[in-house]
């Protein structure tokens, strides 16, 4: 056996990310690793690549016990990871990127020698026709992905981990990447392939391991499975009382999107949102769901389409313009553009609506304190400590600030992307509850999320997206989780 | 993808999942402590330190640097780093003020024109920076242009107020030099503007996280322009005050002002990347530097020695502040 993992556990605070999982990988094998968001796939990848250290359990590589933490050890043991984010330096040439971070390279970068070396490596990943002198910023996404793989080959890795390598690729490009991965496996390397896309699993993998709620199911050969069997293995999660009851909504739309087109959408999107309705958009990374949200928020310029808010045309030309009309927007990445980490909770909460507690440009400290207290209380944020910096809060509480700050703006429509990413169960349930209350008070809500169970539990109406198109839109009770997962994941085999 | 990273317990009461942060006043307390120590040491070492005349001299020396440091603080807070055209811009204000007085213009008109002219020069730079050019490069270029133009016009000579001497430049009110009063008033004004008004809060938030500010509907353009306007007013005041005190100016006036102002701002504890700090702290920084350099003057340090010691003190304090800030960030 190439890699053996036994009774591996990892806990983050109150969340048991991995609960005594077992995992095995044979030489020359492609093992698909499947599971829903939060099932523990990422945690296993992080442990194998040495980014986090496990709480307990054993790892064996080629029959001898191995410690993979920190990442230098993992690399020395022959484990290599291709991440979703690319680590190449865009301004350097392909050849130069291939020697970056390598040991035993001559300190003189002689272009002739570099390029000759690069040629060989590029051929191994199917990039025979690429000139090694090209700078990386001129490569296509697929070429960059393949270059990442070539960089790992230099290190002579025996276990290759691919973390959703095809998420941002088009069909033809996917085929290129899959061909290279198959070839690497046939040369005797072992591959762990993490994905949400079932068709790729059946085209590529030898066996499948499914994670569910931090536990592992025994690996099964792909030849014994079909799509239905895999979906059944992945689901079966108890949603319990996580989600509030669905609401009722008026038939008259408050928000009408007509023929919207923007970068990231290949077909125009038309939608309606009614007062009291939560509309869920779901799809994989790059499916177009977030492009819709970002256009409506005024941060991504649409190329076509009209939007009406309460019967009046809404201009999407800038974020300030949409905010003025009552469009709140909670972004997907709170650290990047959702919070002011170094500033006080109070200032974060009042940031979108401080004008409403000021007169003549002067902020009224008293009115600001009162209003932020109200907002904080609604979201169960400790009202006595609104003066402390948001960076000192836990991820869940930071997210409550990122969502909660919009409540004070008295929005008419609230747009959210991945509202509970990196958020623990407790804060999750709270955020869902608040969103439903907000919705019941007459605010229209549109949520984009790649977490299908979240979309199914929270939304009244659900639209699925695939490769820049809206593929289907139905009421929540017409969907089953099975159908939704299928719609989002394996459009190829369904059509 | 599953994302358990950054997941922390929250099911319990929120107060339990927040840690007690280090108090925000600590950097200020450290600066205050250093100032007190410096003054105490000064008193012990130099009997002439604690005289009315000397204190007046320290305050007067701190004033010009202090006014400009306070004026530049909103710019730094908004994430636009520092200006490298400080000396040249103040010099422009001083030369044009003295020239107008020399030509017989009424003083209030001259003052108004200088302030407006500096604001125009500032807004031009602000627009360039707001549209995306690096503030360091923009202000460096502006400084070179201003210096070039003024040298060309004055021919490198001295501009004098001539027969129309300004008399109030060296005057005092209740024993307090006029520069010190302006410094005090200006510091209070800018501090209130930054802490109590919408635009002040917006300035701070843009510096703390530009992307979040944009999503929150804050106009980064307006914040940047306003920061440059406040900065320009400070530069104009510094030029006018020195012009009124000396009644003459050259293209080489204010030779060390750029470095002194940046030092005062950093020693005051305003973060160079923005989002943390206050004009009040920059004023404190200017005072601290003035005390240290006064003590060295009284103890017969050479000019070179003074500069070297001053530079060393700035580096030590800034490194100290930076370490504290880092630790605070890491603990969260």
By C-alpha distance, which of A229, A226, A272 is closest to A250? A272
Looking at residue B228, its pLDDT comes to 97
Say how far apart CA A49 and CA B38 lie, in whole Å: 52
A423 touches chain B (CB under 8 A): yes
* Residue B196 clears pLDDT 90, i.e. is over it: yes
Indicate the number of domains in chain B. Answer: 1
Q: Among partner residues A14, A40, A392, which is closest to B21 by beta-carbon distance?
A: A392
* Residue A105 clears pLDDT 80, i.e. is over it: no
Say how far apart CA A53 and CA A46 lie, in whole Å: 8
**B chain contacts of residue A166, beta-carbon cutoff 8 Å:** none
* Residue B11 clears pLDDT 80, i.e. is over it: no
* Residue A405 clears pLDDT 70, i.e. is over it: yes
* Residue B20 clears pLDDT 50, i.e. is over it: no
B199 touches chain A (CB under 8 A): yes
Looking at residue B149, its pLDDT comes to 95
A317 touches chain B (CB under 8 A): no
Would B45 be classed as within a structural domain? no
Least confident of A217-221, A247-251, A340-344: A247-251
B21 touches chain A (CB under 8 A): yes
Strands (E), A247-399: 253-261, 269-274, 278-282, 304-309, 312-313, 327-330, 358-359, 362-363
Looking at residue B170, its pLDDT comes to 84
A73 touches chain B (CB under 8 A): no
What would the mean pLDDT of A392-412 be, rounded to a whole number? 89
Say how far apart CA B210 and CA B62 lie, in whole Å: 33
Say how far apart CA A364 and CA A358 lie, in whole Å: 5
Q: Do A40 and B21 touch (CB under 8 A)?
A: no
* Residue B17 clears pLDDT 50, i.e. is over it: no
Burial of B281 (0-12, 13-18, 19+ CB in 10 A): buried
Q: Do A319 and B213 touch (CB under 8 A)?
A: no
Q: Do B275 and A342 touch (CB under 8 A)?
A: yes
Looking at residue B9, its pLDDT comes to 36
Q: Which span out of A232-236, A316-320, B159-163 was modeled with the highest average pLDDT?
A: A316-320
Say how far apart CA A477 and CA A475 lie, in whole Å: 6
Q: Do A396 and B3 touch (CB under 8 A)?
A: no
From-to residues of CATH 3.40.50.300 in chain A: 3-234, 253-494
A363 touches chain B (CB under 8 A): yes
Looking at residue B3, its pLDDT comes to 38
Looking at residue B328, its pLDDT comes to 65
Q: Are A96 and A120 in contact (CB under 8 A)?
A: no
Annotation: CATH topology of A253-494: Rossmann fold (3.40.50)
Least confident of B60-64, B104-108, B319-323: B319-323
* Residue A495 clears pLDDT 50, i.e. is over it: no
CA–CA min distance B11, chain A (Å): 5
A331 touches chain B (CB under 8 A): yes
B26 touches chain A (CB under 8 A): no
If one compares B127 and B35, the residue with the highest pLDDT of the two is B127
**A chain contacts of residue B15, beta-carbon cutoff 8 Å:** 382, 384-385
Looking at residue A486, its pLDDT comes to 82
Would B199 be classed as within a structural domain? yes
Q: How confident is the model at residue B7 (pLDDT cuts 50, 70, 90)?
A: very low
Size of interface A-B (CB pairs under 8 A): 172
Q: Do B8 and A382 touch (CB under 8 A)?
A: no
What would the mean pLDDT of A233-258 be, rounded to a whole number? 76
Q: Among partner residues A342, A362, A381, which is closest to B208 by beta-carbon distance?
A: A342
Q: Are A443 and A413 in contact (CB under 8 A)?
A: yes
Tokens representing A216? Answer: 């592992």
Residue A79's DSSP bridge partners are A159
3-state secondary structure chain B: CCCCCCCCCCCCCHHHHCCCCCCCCHHHHHHHHHHHHHHHHHHHHCHHHHCHHHHHHHHHHHHHHHHHHHHHHHHHHCCCCCCCCHHHHHHHHHHHHHHHHHCCCCHHHHHHHHHHHHHHHHHHHHHHHHCCCCHHHHHHHHHHHHHHHHHHHHCCCCEECCCCCCCHHHCEECCEEHHHHHHHHHHHHHHHHHHHEHHHHHHHHHHHCHHHHHHCCCCHHHHHHHHHHHHHHHHHHHHHHHHHHHCEECCCCCCCHHHHHHHHHHHCCCCCCCCCCCHHHHHHHHHHHHHHHHHHHHCCCCHHHHHHHHHHHHHHHHHHHHHHHHHHHHCC
At which residue do the structure tokens 């407790």 appear?
Answer: A426
B292 touches chain A (CB under 8 A): no
* Residue B183 clears pLDDT 70, i.e. is over it: yes
* Residue A119 clears pLDDT 50, i.e. is over it: yes
Q: Do B2 and A37 touch (CB under 8 A)?
A: yes
CA–CA min distance B200, chain A (Å): 9
CA–CA min distance A307, chain B (Å): 19
CA–CA min distance B296, chain A (Å): 38
What would the mean pLDDT of A430-434 be, rounded to a whole number? 90
Looking at residue B18, its pLDDT comes to 38
CA–CA min distance B330, chain A (Å): 9
Q: Among partner residues B19, B196, B205, which is closest to A351 by beta-carbon distance?
A: B205
The chain-wide mean pLDDT, for chain A, equals 87
pLDDT digits (tens, 9 = 90+) for B24-35: 566 667 767 877
Residue of A nearest to B210 (CA): A337
Least confident of A469-483, B68-82, B106-120: A469-483
Residue A358's DSSP bridge partners are A363
Looking at residue B12, its pLDDT comes to 34
By C-alpha distance, which of A54, A46, A13 is closest to A427? A13
Q: Do B7 and A13 touch (CB under 8 A)?
A: yes
Q: Do B7 and A391 touch (CB under 8 A)?
A: no
Q: Which of A163, A324, A394 would you mutate first to test chain B, the one with the most B CBs within 10 A?
A: A394
Strands (E), A126-252: 159-163, 190-194, 207-212, 215-216, 220-221
Least confident of A161-165, A370-374, A463-467, B16-20: B16-20
Percent of chain B having pLDDT more than 90? 57
Q: How confident is the model at residue A85 (pLDDT cuts 50, 70, 90)?
A: low
Would B97 be classed as within a structural domain? yes
A27 touches chain B (CB under 8 A): no
Q: What is the CA radius of gyration of chain B?
A: 22
The answer to whether the bond into A70 is cis (omega within 30° of 0) is yes
Provide ipTM, 2 decimals. 0.84
Q: Among partner residues A319, A337, A393, which is closest to B18 by beta-carbon distance?
A: A393
Say how far apart CA A160 and CA A83 lie, in whole Å: 11
Looking at residue A84, its pLDDT comes to 62
Annotation: CATH topology of A3-234: Rossmann fold (3.40.50)
- Cβ atoms < 10 Å from Cβ of A129: 7
If one compares A25 and A226, the residue with the highest pLDDT of the two is A25
Would B292 be classed as within a structural domain? no
Q: Are A118 and A92 in contact (CB under 8 A)?
A: no
Pairing label, strands A461-466, A469-475:
antiparallel
The chain-wide mean pLDDT, for chain B, equals 86
What Cα–Cα distance (Å) separates residue A281 from each residue in A164, A473, B190? 21, 9, 47
Q: Is the dihedral of CA A160, A165, A171, A172 positive or negative?
A: negative
Q: Which helix (H) or strand (E) holds A64?
A: strand A64-65
Q: Do A363 and B208 touch (CB under 8 A)?
A: no
If one compares A292 and A492, the residue with the highest pLDDT of the two is A292
What would the mean pLDDT of A176-203 be, rounded to a whole number? 88
Question: Could you tell me the residue range of the domain that residue B130 belongs to?
Answer: 63-254
Q: Which span out of A2-16, A27-41, A221-235, B213-227 was modeled with the highest average pLDDT?
A: B213-227
Q: Among partner residues B1, B219, B275, which is closest to A320 by beta-carbon distance?
A: B219
* Residue A291 clears pLDDT 90, i.e. is over it: yes
Q: How confident is the model at residue A103 (pLDDT cuts 50, 70, 90)?
A: low
What would the mean pLDDT of A426-438 be, rounded to a whole number? 87
Angle between helices B220-246 and B86-102 (to 10 degrees): 50
Whether the pTM exceeds 0.90: the reply is: no
* Residue B8 clears pLDDT 70, i.e. is over it: no
Looking at residue A241, its pLDDT comes to 62
What would the mean pLDDT of B289-317 be, rounded to a whole number? 86
At which residue do the structure tokens 């017409």 appear?
Answer: A478
Q: How confident is the model at residue A98 (pLDDT cuts 50, 70, 90)?
A: confident
Looking at residue A236, its pLDDT comes to 56
Q: Do B332 and A389 touch (CB under 8 A)?
A: yes
């Amino acid at each position: 056996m190439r890699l053996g993992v036994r009774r591996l556990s990892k806990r983050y605070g109150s969340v048991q990310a991995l609960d005594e999982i077992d995992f095995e990988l044979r030489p020359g094998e492609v093992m698909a690793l499947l599971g829903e968001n939060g099932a523990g796939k990422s945690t296993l990848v992080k442990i194998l690549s040495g980014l986090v250290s496990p709480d307990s359990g054993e790892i064996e590589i080629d029959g001898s016990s191995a410690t993979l933490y920190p990442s230098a050890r993992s690399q020395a043991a022959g484990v290599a990871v291709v991440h979703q984010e690319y680590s190449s330096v865009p301004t350097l040439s392909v050849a130069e990127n291939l020697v970056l971070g390598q040991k035993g390279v001559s300190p003189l970068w002689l272009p002739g020698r570099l390029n000759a070396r690069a040629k060989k490596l590029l051929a191994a990943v199917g990039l025979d026709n690429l000139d090694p002198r090209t700078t990386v910023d001129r490569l296509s996404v697929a070429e960059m992905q393949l270059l990442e793989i070539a960089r790992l080959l230099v290190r002579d890795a025996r276990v290759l981990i691919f973390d959703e390598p095809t998420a941002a690729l088009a069909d033809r490009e996917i085929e290129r990447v899959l061909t290279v991965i198959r070839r690497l496996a046939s040369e005797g390397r072992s591959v762990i392939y993490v994905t949400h896309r079932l068709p790729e699993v059946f085209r590529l993998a030898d066996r499948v391991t499914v994670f569910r709620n931090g536990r592992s199911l025994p690996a099964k050969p792909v030849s014994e499975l079909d799509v239905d069997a895999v979906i059944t293995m992945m689901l079966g999660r108890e949603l319990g009382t996580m989600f509030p009851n669905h609401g009722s909504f008026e038939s008259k739309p408050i928000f009408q999107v007509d023929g919207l087109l923007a970068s990231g959408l290949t077909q125009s999107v038309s939608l309606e949102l009614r007062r009291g309705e939560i509309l869920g958009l779901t799809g994989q990374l790059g499916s177009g769901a977030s492009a819709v949200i970002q256009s409506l928020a005024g941060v991504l310029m649409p190329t076509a389409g009209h939007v009406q808010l309460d019967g009046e045309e809404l201009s999407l030309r800038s974020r300030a313009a949409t905010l003025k009309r009552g469009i709140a927007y909670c972004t997907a990445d709170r650290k990047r553009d959702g919070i002011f980490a170094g500033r006080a909770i109070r200032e974060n909460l009042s940031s979108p609506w401080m004008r409403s507690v000021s007169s003549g440009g002067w902020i009224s400290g008293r009115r600001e304190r009162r209003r932020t207290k109200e907002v904080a209380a609604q979201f169960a944020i400790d009202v006595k400590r609104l003066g402390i910096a948001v960076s000192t809060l836990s991820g869940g509480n930071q997210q409550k600030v990122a969502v909660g700050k919009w409540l004070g703006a008295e929005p008419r429509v609230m747009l959210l992307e991945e509202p509970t990413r990196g958020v623990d169960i407790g804060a999750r349930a709270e955020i869902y509850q608040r969103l439903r209350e907000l919705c019941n008070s007459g605010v229209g809500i549109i949520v984009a999320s790649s977490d299908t169970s979240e979309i199914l539990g929270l939304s009244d109406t659900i639209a699925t997206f695939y490769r820049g198109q809206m593929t289907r839109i139905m009421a929540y009770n017409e969907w089953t989780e099975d159908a939704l997962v299928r719609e989002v994941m394996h459009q190829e085999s369904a059509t | 993808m599953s994302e358990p990273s950054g997941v922390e317990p929250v099911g319990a009461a929120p107060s339990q999942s927040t840690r007690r942060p280090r108090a925000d006043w600590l950097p200020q307390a450290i600066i205050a402590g250093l100032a007190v120590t410096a003054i105490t040491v000064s008193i012990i070492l130099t009997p002439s330190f604690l005289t009315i005349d000397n204190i007046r001299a320290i305050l007067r020396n701190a004033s010009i640097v202090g006014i400009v440091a306070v004026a530049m603080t909103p710019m730094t807070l908004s994430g636009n780093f520092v200006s490298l055209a400080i000396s040249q811009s103040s010099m422009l204000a001083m030369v044009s003020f003295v020239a107008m007085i020399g030509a017989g213009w009424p003083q209030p008109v001259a003052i108004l024109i200088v302030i407006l002219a500096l604001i125009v020069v500032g807004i031009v730079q602000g627009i360039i920076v707001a549209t995306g050019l690096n503030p360091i490069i923009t202000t460096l270029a502006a400084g070179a242009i201003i210096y070039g133009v003024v040298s060309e016009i004055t021919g490198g000579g001295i501009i004098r107020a001539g027969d129309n001497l300004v008399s109030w430049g060296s005057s005092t009110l209740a024993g307090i030099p006029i520069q010190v009063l302006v410094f005090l008033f200006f510091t209070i004004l800018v501090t209130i503007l930054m802490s109590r008004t919408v635009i002040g809060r917006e300035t701070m938030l843009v510096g703390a996280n530009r992307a979040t500010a944009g999503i929150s509907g804050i106009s980064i353009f307006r914040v940047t322009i306003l920061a440059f306007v406040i900065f320009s007013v400070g530069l104009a005041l510094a030029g006018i005050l020195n012009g009124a005190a000396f009644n003459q100016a050259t293209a080489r006036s204010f030779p060390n002002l750029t470095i002194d102002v940046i030092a005062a701002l950093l020693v005051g504890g305003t973060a160079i990347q923005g989002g943390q700090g206050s004009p009040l702290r920059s004023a404190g920084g200017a005072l601290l530097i003035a005390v240290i350099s006064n003590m060295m003057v009284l103890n017969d340090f050479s000019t070179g020695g003074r500069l070297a010691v001053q530079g060393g003190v700035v580096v030590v304090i800034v490194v100290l502040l930076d370490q504290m800030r880092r630790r605070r960030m890491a603990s969260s």
